[in-house]
Amino acid sequence: MAEVRPAPVVTVPEPSAEDRRRDNTVIRVLLVAAFTVILNETIMGVAIPRLMLDLDITAVAAQWLTTAFLLTMAVVIPVTGYVLQRFTTRSVFLTAMSLFCTGTLLAALAPGFPTLLMARVVQASGTAIMIPLLMTTVMTLVPAAERGRRMGNITIVIALAPALGPTISGTILNYVEWRFLFWFVLPVALAALIFGAVRITNVGERTAGVLDLWSVPLVALGFGDVVYGLSKFGEDPATRDSRVMVVTLVVGAVALGAFVWRQLVMQRTDRALLDLRTFRSRVFTVSILLFVIAMAALFGSIILLPLFAQGVLGLSVLSTGLLVLPGGLTFGLMGPVVGRWYDRVGPRPLVVPGAALVALSIGALAAFMSETMPWGVLLACHVVLSAGLSLLFTSLFSASLGSLPPHLYSHGSATLATTQQVAGAAGTAALVSTMSAVAISRVAGGASETAGLAGGIQVAFIVATALAVVGFALTWLVPRQAQGGGAGAH
């Protein structure tokens, strides 16, 4: 194998006070911008029942407003490994926020579902760049001993922002139409863009690189077809074309296989879109698998719980938003605390109980979910689920990227973020499709629409419980103590 030529990374062993102030300013600007774009990521969850009525679309179609967002991020994020090495921090930031603001304006003006879906894709393109930019910058600027605390701050952004999304969405929809969801976000996004344009400075050095144009369509075709094939499961069996479903899944799997092969070939000369040598680190590989399960649980619950609260329990959109707020706040506010724990005790003492809480809470939701389920039980389960996810996310962010050598930080960040979004998209599509298929079957068998919906969501959470149990088993492969960069990843 050809010798790896590390991409130059600026590291200052003993930064001056001025350097620290500059670095902290850059991180704060990126945190504010990331909070803004991620706030938008889950703002559609509570709005789906309203959109189904206003736009005359099915639940399977409506979930594509979230799935397409996540899928676009999964396609764009792999390119960011190249982008972050080739272009300056400032130019990447301005591009990301400009795309997001443009997509938000399009969504606010959208006359119907197709335009709204396109706007969500444009929004996602900006969001996709922002997350790896934030993580790579933190890994470059923050000493290893302080990364747990910093990743705790990132957890606030990643968790608290989407937690506030449903509450804000429910409040707005209680009084005005859905387009005002985006009119609310737009001025905040523009303010973040202007603030960043004034305050952000460049970090690190740039390296010349060539974008592998074969890898981009392969990753788009692979992830797109897999998620689309999963979404077909939710269609009415009487009208569903099973051949299309099977073909798209097979084509997607082949395309992903070709993408992996292409990266293995291109990384020999350091030209891979995603350098897969990150997976030589066992910690990174196990963390990726756990992220797949955690993201499926997170985004599946974001979609299914509002549908259950409104469609089965009969709660209003405002009540639904308030119901999921305590869990979201628990997730976000635990981040800094978990980060400090991580710096002291390492990953395994945190991820094991975190995965256990996730499995227990999802299992409890599956066990108690019915038309007579008290909303208090739903609230308690969601809070426990959020606490478990907080323990997992903060620890896995730090452990996975911290196990890599510095020249693979950008590729590790891109791989991690891509996996998160694909898992969220696939998990959302699979769980919503399971719900829809079971609901259709039970209604056809004589059950009421409410009973059919409750049964479908219950079965979806049973599937999620099985995934969570697998995740719990994987946590025992995570090391007790954090590893230094490069363990097995060179």
Considering 6-10, 200-204, 356-360, 442-446, the range whose residues carry the highest mean pLDDT is 356-360
In a domain, 199, yes or no: yes
How does residue 12 score in pLDDT terms, banded at 50, 70 and 90? very low
What tokens appear for 155 in the block? 């957890």
* Residue type present at position 82: Y
Please provide the average confidence, as pLDDT, over all residues in the chain.
79
Q: Comparing 124-128, 266-270, 286-290, 357-361, which segment has the lowest mean pLDDT? A: 266-270
Residue 376: the pLDDT is: 87
Residue 3: is its pLDDT beyond 60? no
Residue 254: the pLDDT is: 95
Q: Comparing 15-24, 358-367, 398-407, which segment has the lowest mean pLDDT? A: 15-24
Residue 321: the pLDDT is: 75
Are the beta carbons of 403 and 125 closer than 8 angstroms?
no
Residue 37: the pLDDT is: 81
Residue 308: the pLDDT is: 86
In a domain, 218, yes or no: yes
In a domain, 219, yes or no: yes
The better pLDDT of the pair 234, 367 is held by 367
In a domain, 13, yes or no: no
Instruction: Determine the structural domain holding residue 230 and report its residue range.
Output: 18-205+214-477
In the chain, pLDDT over 70 holds for what percent of residues? 83
Long-range contacts of 117-120 (CB under 8 A, 24+ apart): 117/64, 117/65, 117/68, 119/182, 120/44, 120/65, 120/68, 120/69, 120/72
The better pLDDT of the pair 212, 455 is held by 455
Are the beta carbons of 432 and 296 closer than 8 angstroms?
no
Are the beta carbons of 233 and 434 closer than 8 angstroms?
yes
Residue 486: the pLDDT is: 44
Residue 475: is its pLDDT beyond 50? yes
For residue 317, the number of C-alpha atoms closer than 13 Å in the C-beta half-sphere is: 22
DSSP 3-state assignment of 1? coil
Tell me the per-residue pLDDT of 162-172, one tens digit each, with 9 for 90 and over: 667 777 777 88
For residue 466, give every residue at least 6 positions away whose Cβ sits within 8 Å of its Cβ, in sequence order, or none: none
How does residue 4 score in pLDDT terms, banded at 50, 70 and 90? very low
In a domain, 8, yes or no: no
Residue 11: is its pLDDT beyond 50? no
CA terminus-to-terminus distance, the chain: 12
- The residue-averaged pLDDT of 403-413 equals 79
Residue 10: the pLDDT is: 41
Q: Full-prediction pTM beyond 0.75?
A: no
The better pLDDT of the pair 103, 416 is held by 103
d(CA 341, CA 398): 12
- Helices and strands (H, E) in the chain, number of each type: 17, 0
How does residue 364 score in pLDDT terms, banded at 50, 70 and 90? very high
State the SS3 of 238-289: CCCCHHHHHHHHHHHHHHHHHHHHHHHHHHHHCCCCCCHHHHHCHHHHHHHH
In a domain, 56, yes or no: yes
In the chain, pLDDT over 90 holds for what percent of residues? 10
Helix ranges (DSSP H) in 87-141: 89-109, 113-141
Q: Comparing 2-16, 92-106, 139-153, which segment has the lowest mean pLDDT? A: 2-16
d(CA 356, CA 144): 28
CATH number at residue 365: 1.20.1250.20
Are the beta carbons of 394 and 155 closer than 8 angstroms?
yes
Q: What is the DSSP letter of 204?
A: S
Please state, in angstroms and as integers, the Cα–Cα distance from residue 211 to each residue in 7, 84, 95, 272, 419, following that order.
Answer: 15, 12, 18, 8, 20
Residue 52: is its pLDDT beyond 60? yes
In a domain, 490, yes or no: no
For residue 301, give every residue at least 6 positions away whose Cβ sits within 8 Å of its Cβ, in sequence order, or none: 362, 382, 385, 464
Tell me the per-residue pLDDT of 218-247, one tens digit each, with 9 for 90 and over: 888 887 787 777 666 655 556 667 788 788
Of the candidates 418, 391, 397, 376, the residue with the CA atom closest to the CA atom of residue 332:
391
d(CA 489, CA 3): 13
Residue 68: the pLDDT is: 79
Domain count, the chain: 1
In a domain, 378, yes or no: yes
